[in-house]
Amino acid sequence: MSPAEPRGKRSWPLGLAAIAVSIAIAGAWWGLPLRSPQPLHSAPGPSAITPGAGGVVLEPGKEPRIDPQSLVPGKPLEVHVSLPPEAAGVGIESIWIYGESHAPTQIDGRKAGPTQVRLELGAELLGPGRHIIELRTDEVSPIPLRRYAFEVR
């Protein structure tokens, strides 16, 4: 390099190459892919269930699809909401159902065990579409809610 050339003019390509190599090494070190990420799995849609004599069980993280042909007109659908084990001691302050075909409605229910809540849903609440049952609890947390979804299709 001659004394007449500015110092930073020639070193920037070398610095850029050093940064690129450092990023590639760090990515390999931490296991980061250098290609576009692939989906972990392709989850199939929920399969339709037919409510049995015991009704339908809603569990955290699952969204069952209920076949509307399996619902008996005039007979309420019995729903058992399964709470996670860490919520065994919580109290239920109110229960609401939200749906595409009706306004938010407060419904009655009762605890049927430390981790079970039992409720009955009338036919007017079971129109086609997605429904969310919301349990408002007495938990000490910023948002003391438990939500469970199901679909009637």
Give the 3-state secondary structure of residue 104.
strand
Banded model confidence at residue 18, pLDDT cuts 50, 70, 90? confident
Residues 6 or more apart in contact with residue 146 via CB below 8 angstroms: 60, 81, 83, 87, 134, 135, 137
- Alpha-carbon distance 145 to 151, whole Å? 20
In a domain, 132, yes or no: yes
Structural tokens at position 93:
């302050």
Q: What is the pLDDT of residue 5?
A: 56
In a domain, 40, yes or no: no
Q: Tens of pLDDT along 45-59?
A: 555 666 665 689 999
Structural tokens at position 103:
């306004």
**Residue span of the structural domain in which 78 resides:** 48-152
| φ/ψ (deg, to 5) at 68 | -65, -25
In a domain, 11, yes or no: no
Q: How many domains does the chain have?
A: 1
User: In the chain, what is the straight-line distance between the N-terminal and C-terminal CA atoms, in Å?
Assistant: 75
- The distance between the two most distant Cα atoms of the chain, rounded to a whole number of Å, is 95
Inter-residue contact 148 to 133 (CB < 8 Å):
yes
Asked if pLDDT for residue 140 goes beyond 50, the answer is: yes
In a domain, 28, yes or no: no
Q: Tens of pLDDT along 80-139?
A: 999 988 888 889 999 999 998 889 999 999 998 899 999 999 988 999 999 999 999 998
In a domain, 39, yes or no: no
